[in-house]
Structures are given as structure tokens and as C-alpha cells.
Amino acid sequence: MEKKILEPSSDLREMANNNQHIPVKGPKGGLITMPFIIVNEAFEKVASYGLLPNMILYLMRDYHLGLAKGTNIIFFWSAAINFMPLLGAFLSDSYLGRFLTIGFGSIASFLGMVLLWLTTMIPKLKPSPCDILTQRCKSPTAGQTTLLVLSFSLISIGAGGIRPCSLAFGADQVDKRGDPKNERVLERFFNWYYASAAVSVIIALTGIVYIQDHLGWRLGFGVPAILMFFATILFFLASSLYVKQKASKSLFTGFAQVIVVAYKNRKLPLPNGNSDNGLYHHNKDSELVAPTDKLRCLNKACIIRNREHDIGPDGSASNPWNLCTVEQVEELKAVVKVIPMWSTGIMMSINVSQNTFPLLQANSMDRHLSSFQVPAASYAMFVVISLAAWVVIYDRVLLPLASRIRGKPTRLDVKTRMGIGLILSFMAMVVSAVVENIRRKRAIREGFLDNAHAVVGMSAMWLIPQHCLNGLAEAFNGIGQTEFYYSEFPKSMSSIASSLFALGMGVASLLASVILSAVDDLTSRKGKESWVSSNINRGRYDYYYWLLAVMSFVNLLYYLFCSWAYGPCAEQRKKVRDEPNGIREDGKEEGREEGKELSV
């Protein structure tokens, strides 16, 4: 067969003549990068979640901290872990890009875990053991406390770099526009991503916790550090395979610009009406040509004062800190509008964050299953199990069954699910109070009032219902919140939608610390034993749970008001639009809304 020399095509010649870049290497990204990205975050979750459950025991036993102080430190740490992803998302979108943000986060998380592990290896890095005869314990020095806080801070920074970027960075590798198989590939990635996240948390609450309980803190803190080391190395090894998107403008910057420009133009009169009269700046070919009447004070941010000075030759704003678009204004309004609904989920997050008290309860109860003793911190695993189990049953069993019975697609709307979650969270606190009351009475009856380390003759399995209720509450309300934000916000605000729930968890951790400190201060006055005493049998943890239950009930009423004030959400509005002739399922004819006939 005659060999032919391939001549460059005319298109390639033209590209070469125009000095355009001709890609000579194979395409980057694809499913081959998935193991490196998924394993990186999976190991980070195993490491960080594995450190959290037993941390109160480490702080109380090795650092000689009281229950209230140690719990407050953990609350602040949890808040930092939930707040840092917002900062990480901002830096990633605006300056560093996702690859560098994940890389720096991995290194920071590894260094934090190494510092924490060193506190178990070097005796001088933590207080000396308590005197056996006098039972006197030294408090940690300023240097020892600083090192501990530094390790927690680095781990939080690491979470802030990895968690907000891994999902989007992985999607960048497989998101090929125009490919008909694109949706299926993305679906596979998301399935593997969330499956690995769930498995990571379960491993952390079982394997890592078991090592800490049975093999000590040195190995229990050393294993997470080793896992984080391998996660960091693996992530950087695949550097040449990744698709690395450049940083772009962040929505957070856009929000700041709207606020700044609206303040600058605060004395500027608003135009009459909201039609496209050329006074508002908007993107080309945009459907939004004028802002809505809600929160009209923000509309001043997109008013064109001097077209020649404010608008550049390409039609964009000459200075985005002097003129914003209508789209930017409406995006900020969307966030402001959902804030009341978002605030209703904080109380549930406060309830879910009460990890310390169930741990101490389990530690004082019989945890044996035949000859095997379940680690006290592993009972939190039932939160994850119940959450995952309900998602599968709801999506694969209940919805298809209900749709088959009704003869049409059936589902619970997002606001109903959020409300059910708050009810379940309230019930979880009631059950927690009842179980703790029974456990305390049993401890007193067995003569353990002054012995906080004694194990009462009551199975720790009694704690499973409250964990399961908390898991179901998060399945309904937590997932419902995220879906609510995604459906109510424009597509350009997907990153904000995914960050709001984490922000709520961070605020909840801070408020939980405030509540705990207030309860400890108010109930320990005049020499009385605090409700949250380090001695679980002398304290009144049941009263503390009842307080949270009352607050949860009040929050439920607050949610009903906010839900009513918000009005119909996106899926409800779409349902009304799609129903023929404006006739609802109940046979009643739809009327007018805000003076306009509902669209058919």
C-alpha cells in the first residue's frame, strides 16, 4: 500500500498564519481525573469529620477544659469550618481559580492535622496530667492554647478551600457543552461525588472514632493526618490532567458593587415607571430591561446618569463601581428576599450541632452489642444513615407509589418538606429530653450522682431515635432548603444557592455557643449546679433539651409566618401557569394576582 504524506489542511495553514494556538496534546479532563478529585475531598472529610466527634473528650481529659468551655471551642471551630467555604468560593471565583484554591486548602488542612497530632506526641504541647492524689489539674498555657487554636484554624482554612470548589472543579472536567452524553456523564459524577461524601462520613464516625477509642489519640489523630497527606499528593500528581478554568468575576463582588453604587446614588430620584426607557443599564439581549418595584432603593444602582461617561464603547459600564446592571440588582434582591426563609433553618442546625451532649450520654450508658462495644461517638452515624435511607425510600419507593395511586406525578412541594423538617427537629429535642430524664433518674437510683464516669444499666440504643429524627429533619429541611434556593435564584447564582445552607450552619454554631454560655451562666449562679455541668449526672441536660424544644416550637411558628409572607415559590408559580384555563385541581377558578390575569 502506498504511503501518503499528510499535508496540513487549509484551515490549519490559516490558523498558523494568524499565529493562533494549535492544540497538539490530547484533551484534558474527563473521567480519568475523577478519582483524584473525589479521593481528595473524601479523605478530607474522613479526616475532619473523624476529628470532631471525640474532640470534647480530648479537650476535657487532656486539656482539662470544662464542658461548657470545651463545647464552645468546638462550636467556634464548626462555625469556622462552615464560614470558610464562603471565603474560599470568593477567592476561587475572583482570584485564584479552583485548582489553586483546592491545592492551598489541602496543604492547610494537612498542616493543621499535623499540628493537632503533634499535641499528642510532644508532652510539652499540652498540660501535664492531673495529680492523682490531689486531683488538681493545670490549665493550658497561652502557648498551648494558641497551638491548639492554630491547628483548628488551619483545618478550617483547608475545608474552606476544598469543599466549595471540589464539586465545581470536578464538573469542569466532564462538562462538555454540545455533547449529547454530557448530562449522563455529569449525573454519574454527581452520584459518585455524593456517594463518596456519605461513605466518608460513615467511615469517619466508625473507623476513625474506633481507633481513637481503642488505640489512643496518637494513632487516632495520626491516621487523619496520613490520609490528608496522601490526598494532597494524589491531587497534585494529576495536575497535568486537569482542566483549569481561570478565575472570573464573583457574585459577591457584584453584590458589593450594587450596595456601594446604590449608596452613592441615594439622593438620585427614581424614574417614573419601570419600563425600558433607556435610563437603566442592562446586559445586551437581556430579558430584564428594568428592575422590579421591590426594594426600590437598590434600583438606583443601575440608573444611567451620563451615558457618554458611564457607558463604554462596548456597551458595558465604564466603571462597575459607579454603574451596575439590572441583572446584578435583581440577583441581590433575590438573596434579600429569601433571608427570612433562610433564617428559619438556623434553629434546626442548632439542634443538629448538639454533638457534645449525646456523646457524653452515650459514654455513660451501656454500649455493648453482644461482646462488641460501640464507640460513643459512632452513634452520630445514625443521623447520616437515616438521612441517606430516607432519600432513597422517598425518591425510589414513596414518590413512584403515590404517583401510581393518583395517576399523575406526585411530590411534596419544597416548602412543605422544609416545614416537616422543622417539626421533626422539634420532636428530636422532645425525645432527647425524655430519654435524658430517664437516664439521669436511673443514674441517681443506682447511686452514681457524684460519679460522672459510671456506666448506668441502660442501653445506649435509647439514643438512636433522637439521632434518626435529627437525620430525617435534615433530609427534609436541609435538602429542601438547598432545592428552594436553587429554584428561586437565577442560574447565575448557583454558587450562592449551594453556600447558603453552609452559612446557616456556621451561624447556628455561633448561636449555639451563645445559648450554651447563657444557660451555663444563668443556671450556675448562687453556687447552684449548672444545667450543663461537666458531671452529666448532676447537670440537667434534660432541661437544656427542653429549652431547645421550646425554641424549636417558636421557630416553627415563625416559619409558618415567613412561608405565608413569601408567597408561592417557583414550582407553585409554574404549576399555576401550566394548568389549563387557570383551573386548579380543586376545581376553583384562579382569580387575578396583583391586578393581572394569571398566564395560561
Which of these, 217, 356, 51, 359, lies nearest to 367 by C-alpha position? 359
Distance CA 296, CA 332 (A): 12
- Distance, in Å, from the CA atom of 45 to the CA atom of 115, rounded to the nearest integer, reads 18
**How far apart are alpha carbons 480 and 412 in whole angstroms?**
10
Helix ranges (DSSP H) in 311-463: 326-343, 346-352, 356-363, 381-393, 399-406, 414-445
pLDDT digit string (tens) for the chain, length 600 residues = 444 434 444 443 343 344 444 343 456 767 788 788 888 888 888 888 888 888 988 998 889 888 888 889 998 998 898 888 888 877 887 788 888 989 999 999 999 999 999 999 998 998 888 877 766 888 899 999 999 999 999 999 998 888 878 777 877 777 654 455 555 566 566 656 766 777 888 888 888 988 998 888 999 999 999 989 998 998 999 888 888 877 766 677 888 899 999 999 988 888 776 555 678 888 877 777 788 888 888 989 989 888 888 888 888 888 888 899 888 898 888 888 899 999 999 999 999 888 888 988 998 999 988 888 888 888 888 988 888 888 888 878 888 888 888 887 777 888 999 999 999 999 999 999 999 999 999 999 998 888 878 899 899 999 999 999 999 998 889 888 878 887 787 766 666 676 788 888 889 988 998 999 999 999 988 778 899 888 889 999 999 999 999 999 999 999 999 999 988 876 666 665 655 554 444 444 444 333 333 222
Cα torsion 463, 469, 472, 473: sign: negative
pTM of the model: 0.75
Residue 313 CA to residue 323 CA, distance in Å, equals 15
Residue type, 458: M
Q: Containing H/E element for 593?
A: strand 592-593
Distance CA 339, CA 355 (A): 26
C-alpha cell at 12: 490549519
Q: Are 232 and 106 in contact (CB under 8 A)?
A: yes
Of all helices (H) and strands (E), which one includes residue 561? helix 541-566
- Could you tell me which residues come within 8 angstroms of residue 144 by beta carbon, excluding any fewer than 6 positions away? 63, 119, 125, 126, 127
pLDDT at residue number 345: 93
DSSP state for residue 394 in the 8-state scheme: I
Beta strand pairing call for 368-369 and 372-373: antiparallel
- Grid cell, residue 315, equals 456597551
Find, among 39, 36, 47, the residue nearest to 225 by Cα: 47
Query: Which of 564, 43, 539 lies closest to 344, judged by CA?
Result: 564
Enter the CATH code of domain 332-569: 1.20.1250.20
CATH assignment, 26-248: 1.20.1250.20
Angle subtended at Cα 134 by Cα 131 and Cα 136, rounded to the nearest 5 degrees: 60
| Residue 406: alpha-carbon gap to chain centroid | 35
Do the domains 26-248 and 332-569 sit in the same CATH topology, yes or no?
A: yes
Which phi and psi (to 5°) does residue 369 adopt?
-120, 100
Which sequence spans correspond to the domains of the chain?
A: 26-248, 251-324, 332-569
Return d(Cα 297, Cα 258) in angstroms, integer: 11
CB-based contacts of 325: which residues, under 8 Å, 6+ apart?
A: 281, 282, 283, 286, 302, 317
Angstrom distance (rounded) from CA 555 to CA 423: 10
Instruction: Give the CA distances from residue 503 to residues 82, 159, 243, 349, 507, in Å, rounded to whole numbers and listed in that order.
Output: 6, 13, 29, 10, 6
